[in-house]
Chain A
Amino acid sequence: MSEQRPQAALPPPPEGDELPGEAGSTHDRRGLVAHALQALAAIVGREVLRFAQQKSRLVSALVRPVLWLAVFAAGLRDAVGGAVVAPYDAPVPYAVYILPGLVGMVMLFNGLQSSLSMVYDREMGLMRLLLTAPLPRWWLLFARLVATALLSLAQALAFVLVAAALGTAIPLAPLAWLHALLAAFAGALMLGAIGLLLSVHIRQLENFAGTMNFVIFPLYFLSTALYPLAKLQASGATWIWIVATANPFTHAVEWIRFALYGRDPGASPWIVLGTLAACFGLACWGYDPRRGFGALTQRGG
């Protein structure tokens, strides 16, 4: 029925204008690392370009936390109740307290929205293009993750500038800022990895509303973004306190908060990095052609 001929393996395709298989190897000459970095830059560049073309995304990314800062914080000015909570040395205005939480909110929405982007790419066939590139699949997914995290960080920084312009007190120690940037980037990676993992399971764009209700809001409201853990415990909301303590978003926010004030963030970095590793590993597993991605592709004739 079919012709079977033994074949010698060909090197990777040529760079020049030669016929297939007749020239030297792209990888031999430039190296896999250079290829991988080129693909990373391309994937990040493409996501940045797409973001730049969607100006409403930047506006909505800023309007949401600014409204919280300007309206919610004004209404709950004394919500922290004059208590001193770590890492602050003295009672702080509520706007100062929720600033790291709102930074986290910006990153949370962008990170989870990346799952929407992944599902959109899958429906548009763009994901197939990405996943058939001659690079390790985990690297291609990691590149998407880095793109998401960099966009999250850029939006978070834009929000911090707006918050400063609105008069919110922000510590300015350079080393603390560097640490906070590192914490924010790690948190953005973690939230992007959660989005990546969700994209394995969201089959259609229409299901994104469910993601909002069942993932974003619980992660946000059951955390220390809006109120300190001590307040939850003191008010007797024990189960909320337990969930908030276990919530990785809490630790992303607390890492940023403690870093900003030059304090030891305790176990928060390890919880953030651990969650990042676990979610990214599971997402790679989900996109593995031997396991998960088959369920994501349209099967037919």
Chain B
Amino acid sequence: MLTVRGLTQRYGSRVALAGLDLALGRGSFTALLGPNGAGKSTLFQVLAGLFAADEGEVEIAGHSLAHAPRLALAHLGIVFQAPSLDLDLSVARSLQFHCDLHGLPRDVAAARIAAGAARFGLQAELGRRARELSGGTRRKVELLRALLHRPGLLLMDEPTVGLDPQSRRDLVAFLRDEVRERGVSVLWATHLVDEAEGADRVLVLHQGRLLADGRPDAVRGALGGATLEEAFMAATRR
């Protein structure tokens, strides 16, 4: 679902991504673990097509982001780290706006919004403006929005920032269901080790390079530590 080859991005003398290679298949929950400044947000902005890296290639669902961005982006859902809801629009209008940007017919959009709102417990919020919602509810709306066009790849850029523990757990559980039931491939960027422990696969990114890649226990073993957190802390302190 995602193939990254030789991705390199420099900001002056600082290297944010250093020849990154990566491939994600369908139906996997992958945690991208890295400390602040590891290159996670840069990677996500490149994957979202917001800017092109200095070197390297990105393919989403087999479509080159550089040469067929429209087709590549059609398969991509994103929840950005910073909230990105129009605070003055109602939830329903925000969701419909997203469907329009993705060219979904009105009847299909209406059915998906209704079904998604029911699944997320957001029916009562559809008529409310985003500024009236709590942070956790806004996140749910953003996640529902990112899934409305049925993307094969979902990028989640530190989506639990500012959420209470219960909302964090709910979000992770929901995405696990989405992976299992719909075969969505999730790339979840975080610097919180406990969020990565339940992932199918963990990538440890540090200074623009992948330090480890594998199942959580394999990563712990490869980096050397009694727990994943210890292993991560030790590896990123070096």
Contacts and interface: CB of A to CB of B under 8 A. Distances in A.
Interface in A1-30: 1-5, 7-10, 12-21, 26-27, 30
A231 B100 CA distance: 51
Contacts of A293: 50-51
Interface stretch (B66-74, B120-128, B169-177): B66-74
A133 interface: yes
Given A10-B62, A301-B36, A5 B25 contact: yes
Given A301-B36, A301-B40, A289 B52 contact: yes
A17 B111 CA distance: 9
Contacts of A133: 73, 101-102
Contacts of A14: 150
B194 to A, nearest CB: 19
A229 to B, nearest CB: 43
A298 B234 CA distance: 28
B235 interface: no
Interface residues of B, number: 71
Nearest to B64: A9
Nearest to B2: A7
Contacts of B51: 289-290, 293-294, 297
A300 B208 CA distance: 11
B152 A13 contact: yes
B80 A128 contact: yes
Contacts of B108: 15-16
Interface in A285-301: 289-290, 293-294, 297-301
A64 interface: no
A13 B97 contact: no
Interface string B1-37: 1010000000100001000011101100000001111
Max chain B Cβ within 10 angstroms of own Cβ: one of A8, A9, A20: A20
B34 A301 contact: yes
Nearest to B205: A301
A10 B96 CA distance: 25
Contact of A4 (B23, B74, B96, B115): B23
Given A1-B213, A135-B101, A299-B41, A129 B84 contact: yes
Interface residues of A, number: 53
A298 B26 CA distance: 30
Max chain B Cβ within 10 angstroms of own Cβ: one of A4, A34, A134, A299: A134
Contacts of B152: 10, 13, 20-21
B215 interface: no
B101 A7 contact: no
Interface in B96-155: 96-98, 100-105, 108, 111-112, 115, 149-152
Contacts of A128: 48, 50, 78, 80, 84
B168 interface: no
A136 interface: yes
A131 interface: yes
Contact of B184 (A20, A135, A300): A20
A207 interface: no
Contact of B16 (A50, A129, A299): A299
5 contacts: A19-B182, A21-B75, A46-B97, A133-B73, A300-B41
